[in-house]
Amino acid sequence: MKGFKGMVALLTAALVLFSFQVFAGVDHSDFVKGPFTKGQDVTKQCLECHDKQAADFMKTAHWKWEGTPNHVKGMEKSTKTFGKKNMTNNFCTTVFGGKDGLVHESCDKCHAGYGWTRSKFDFNDKTRVDCLICHSQKGNYARGAVGADVDAAAIAKGSMNLEVAAKNVGMPTLKNCGDCHFYGGGGDNVKSPGLDSTLLAADKNRDVHMASKEKGGAGLMCQDCHKTKDHAIAGRSSMMAHYVAKVECTDCHSGAKAPHQKSKNAAILARHTASVACQTCHVPAISKGQATKVGWWWADVGKKIEPKEEFDMETFAKKKGTFKWNMNYVPTYAWYNGKIERYMLGDKIKDPSKPVNMTKPVGDIKDKTAKIYPYKFYQGSQPMDSKFKYLNSFQQYKSLWDDYNWEKALVEGAKSPEALPYSGKYQFVQTQSWLSAPHEVVPKEQALQCGECHMGAKRMDWAALGYKGDPMQVGGRATEKAGKKKK
């Protein structure tokens, strides 16, 4: 009996220790032995225990930068793969412009791997997985500006300690995810509205989910909503062709935790949720922490333009063109049914005089599967091949950014294995995107009230959404007058 009790006690202690390790993170001081001079040396030690985790990660879009286009209308059944690796956008455009994929040297600092500086990167080499970018908690781990590797200069200066970074790992924090996602598009809060470094110190009025408990928030980490299985992370980007799984507000807010149950307007709100996404009422403004870029005109590269101050941000850079910024502003609203229209590399532009939709939500007032969501509307310009009528790939890094020569940049950009031919003639076309704004959810007391959308309010462009007027006066999607009951 004593032996049995001893086994129970031992098992209990083991379970307690296991639980502590799961939630608090395993102390890796005894497992990791440095010093290290490069990231791959750290990964080799990680693989001694975490070989399966690396193999799982290498199957994901975070590693491959591509996946089947299940998010794009009309391409859902395609077996071809698309992603950052072989698509274009109207921010920095492509990651591959140039002979032998030279631009990878700069753009791939946010790829969770080491050494993707050319086209012939070995995606099957587990030692190239960067474990630390997602899991390091101390040591000031950082990637270099170029070279798709650790910041060697920071190591040399002593501001980063690779061994400390390797010994102090745990579940990803907001900063871990933010090291890449806050800085998409070339800078802090440039691309994704409401995702920027100010979230690390935000209070609940900025984002009730991500604010720490000390500042009145829920203290959630990204993976609390973006559920992860075998390193594949759920979530649908309005810019990308592929997604693993959906993330919905109802993943948490349903059943006993369903919203509006105690509201005096519960019936009215229930009718709204058939046509209005949660974010529309609960994200009344976007980019509250700092300005976000809402326009980028590449056509102005090399020109002599005097920049004007806009929210303390530059409005012109000779090597990148003209910018427009906005901060703490009302989103643009559009219908979304779970699919997007997406400009894919090589798509022909039928009418160059009209803006090219780079990414746009699919849905309209007649689509019962669609709801109204908030977006950052983003505009710009970029080169189109005058003969072939598609958007060109051009080499920015070590070309256009140095000499402002468009002809040379287009010729060099076409040399990339992923790029399309350049005819020798180009012109600029206007482009536009709708970028989803699901973050910066405010406390329920700050959610939109009736008068902020209806009764003469200017927030909603009812005509653009397909209504004949304010649905409170003219009726909703079913053309039923407000307050009128069916017989």
Q: Are 388 and 349 in contact (CB under 8 A)?
A: no
Length of the chain in residues, anyone?
Answer: 487
Distance CA 373, CA 393 (A): 31
33-37, 218-222, 333-337, 431-435, range with the lowest pLDDT: 33-37
Q: What is the pLDDT of residue 479?
A: 54
Is 445 in contact with 435 (CB distance < 8 Å)? no
Provide the mean pLDDT of the chain: 92
Residue 224 clears pLDDT 80, i.e. is over it: yes
Judged against a pLDDT cut of 70, whether residue 341 lies above it is answered with yes
pLDDT of residue 125: 98
Q: What average pLDDT score do residues 256-274 get?
A: 90
Per-residue pLDDT at 483 exceeds 90 = no
Which of 175, 182, 163 shows the shortest CA–CA distance to 200? Answer: 175
Q: What is the mean pLDDT of residues 416-431?
A: 97
Q: What is the mean pLDDT of residues 409-436?
A: 97
pLDDT (tens digit, 9 = 90+) per residue, 283-301?
999 999 999 999 999 999 9
Calpha distance 468→452 (Å, rounded): 18
What is the reported pLDDT for 328? 98
Q: What is the pLDDT of residues 171-213, one digit of tens each?
A: 999 999 999 999 999 999 999 999 999 999 999 999 999 999 9
pLDDT of residue 262: 86
Cβ–Cβ < 8 Å for 337, 440: no
Could you report the per-residue pLDDT of 77-123, keeping only the tens digit for each? Answer: 999 999 999 999 999 999 999 999 999 999 999 999 999 999 999 99
